[in-house]
Amino acid sequence: MRKIVITTPDDWHLHVRDHAQMQAVINDTARQFARAIIMPNLVPPVTSCAQALSYRDRILSALQPGSSFNPLMTLYLTDNLSIQEIETAAQSPFIHAAKLYPAGATTNSDAGVSHIDKIIPLLEAMQTHDLPLLVHGEATAADIDIFDREKAFIDSTLSTIRQQFPELRIVFEHITTEDAVEYVLSQNAYVAATITAHHLLINRNDLFKGGINPHHYCLPVAKREHHRLALLAAATQQPGRFFAGTDSAPHPRHAKESACGCAGIYTAHAAVELYAEAFEQVDNFIHFESFMSLAGAAFYRLPVNDGTVTLKKQDWTVADKINFADATLIPFRAGKTISWTLEHN
């Protein structure tokens, strides 16, 4: 049987929510990954170091006994965040980045940044104190087509940030377009990008096949097939600048299957296996370990994990649904087969 062994991987972009919902999902991630960058878009958002540290404690308490999973915390940037919080975050061994959500861009982003001009002093402080900036890279003006928002963000915002702060480390999160791949490759090592498993596996047709498929709706929305192929080429052929970040984003079934369904795809139950399926499509696992386990750690200047995980080429069937506090959650590929199985060494 075909087997692949890699250093224990990390998830560089993850939503776990809080309290009972978090308890329902955190161990899916902890079974597969040693660490994850935890997104701060709670309600209310994580806008202070004190909040980030107490959120971290709640995550640690929800882990199965004996788990050594390490949540890497982030701050949520707002127009009014103080420079002091940035300085404190940069000194904390537990806080690893601050996240820019353009206001209105996605789930729980209403408290996000209204215009980049509002956070210039914060970006300055992040560059000075070497705290990475994570960006949800979508422009939000109502007249921009939803499929063009990532490219518009590069042109209107990201290139400006890069010009003004050339030594600020930036992760362009969950990229979805060929334009984003080209942009990252045109920049120096201060810019990297995460790629989700679902954006490597679905294109925008999957939202509409046989009717509307709300469980394939996420933000940034999946794009045309040529964009998916550009992401797959970046992940499999460009070691160093692209790494795994699932953006696994659990929502209750009723909130997804509604007249105004919310954005987010849950992949934490099978993330490493799903990435393996994507790499198998181009039959090229040469840089799989870099993408899953090495490049992100290097960018965040963290040590590589101890230990390994093994993937074997063996089918398993995903559950139809998962308990999610007082609701249920429909995982990616619910009721369907995944052709790789993760073993723990």
Across 253-271, b (16+ Cβ under 10 Å) vs e yields beebeeeebbbbbbbbbbb
Interface residue with ligand DOR among 63, 83, 144, 263 (CB under 6 A) is 263
Interface residue with ligand DOR among 8, 41, 127, 293 (CB under 6 A) is 41
| Coil, helix or strand at residue 329 | strand
Question: Based on CB atoms, which residue is closest to ligand DOR, 169 or 198?
Answer: 198
Q: Work out the angle between the directed axes of helices 225-237 and 178-186 (0-180°, nearest 10).
A: 40
Q: In the bound complex, what is the minimum distance in angstroms from residue 324's beta carbon to ligand DOR?
A: 13
Interface residue with ligand DOR among 34, 219, 278, 309 (CB under 6 A) is 219
Q: Does 338 bind ligand DOR (CB under 6 A)?
A: no
Q: Amino acid identity of 312?
A: K
Q: Which of 342, 224, 192, 220 is nearest to 277 (CA)?
A: 342
Cβ atoms of 124 and 91 closer than 8 Å: no
User: Which residue in the list 18, 179, 247, 306 is annotated as catalytic?
Assistant: 247
Residues within window 59-78 making contact with ligand DOR, judged by CB under 6 A: none
Q: In the bound complex, what is the minimum distance in angstroms from residue 66's beta carbon to ligand DOR?
A: 29
Residues within window 100-139 making contact with ligand DOR, judged by CB under 6 A: 106-108, 136
- Count CA within 13 A, CB hemisphere, residue 258: 10
* Residues making contact with Zn ion (CB under 5 A): 247
Interface residue with ligand DOR among 218, 222, 232, 276 (CB under 6 A) is 218
Q: In the bound complex, what is the minimum distance in angstroms from residue 231's beta carbon to ligand DOR?
A: 16
Question: Based on CB atoms, which residue is closest to Zn ion, 4 or 73?
Answer: 73
| Coil, helix or strand at residue 311 | strand
Q: Does 149 bind ligand DOR (CB under 6 A)?
A: no
Cβ atoms of 249 and 264 closer than 8 Å: yes
Q: How many residues bind ligand DOR (CB under 6 A)?
A: 12
41: partner contacted, choices Zn ion, ligand DOR, none (Cβ within 5-8 A by kind): ligand DOR
Q: Does 222 bind ligand DOR (CB under 6 A)?
A: no
247 given a catalytic annotation: yes
Question: Based on CB atoms, which residue is closest to ligand DOR, 153 or 288?
Answer: 153
Question: Based on CB atoms, which residue is closest to Zn ion, 100 or 278?
Answer: 100
In this structure, the number of other CB atoms found within 10 A of the CB of residue 6 comes to: 20
Question: Based on CB atoms, which residue is closest to ligand DOR, 116 or 255?
Answer: 255
Q: In the bound complex, what is the minimum distance in angstroms from residue 250's beta carbon to ligand DOR?
A: 8
Rounded-to-integer distance, Cα 255 and Cα 97, Å: 29
Q: Which residues contact 235 (CB under 8 A, 6 or more apart)?
A: 195, 200, 242, 278, 279, 287, 291
Cβ atoms of 169 and 176 closer than 8 Å: no
Token pair for 152: 């518009």
Q: What φ, ψ does residue 326 adopt, rounded to 5°?
A: -90, 15
Q: In the bound complex, what is the minimum distance in angstroms from residue 148's beta carbon to ligand DOR?
A: 17
Question: Based on CB atoms, which residue is closest to ligand DOR, 207 or 282?
Answer: 207
Rounded-to-integer distance, Cα 71 and Cα 291, Å: 19
The residues annotated as belonging to the active site are 247
Return residues touching ligand DOR (CB under 6 A): 15, 41, 106-108, 136, 218-219, 247, 249, 263-264
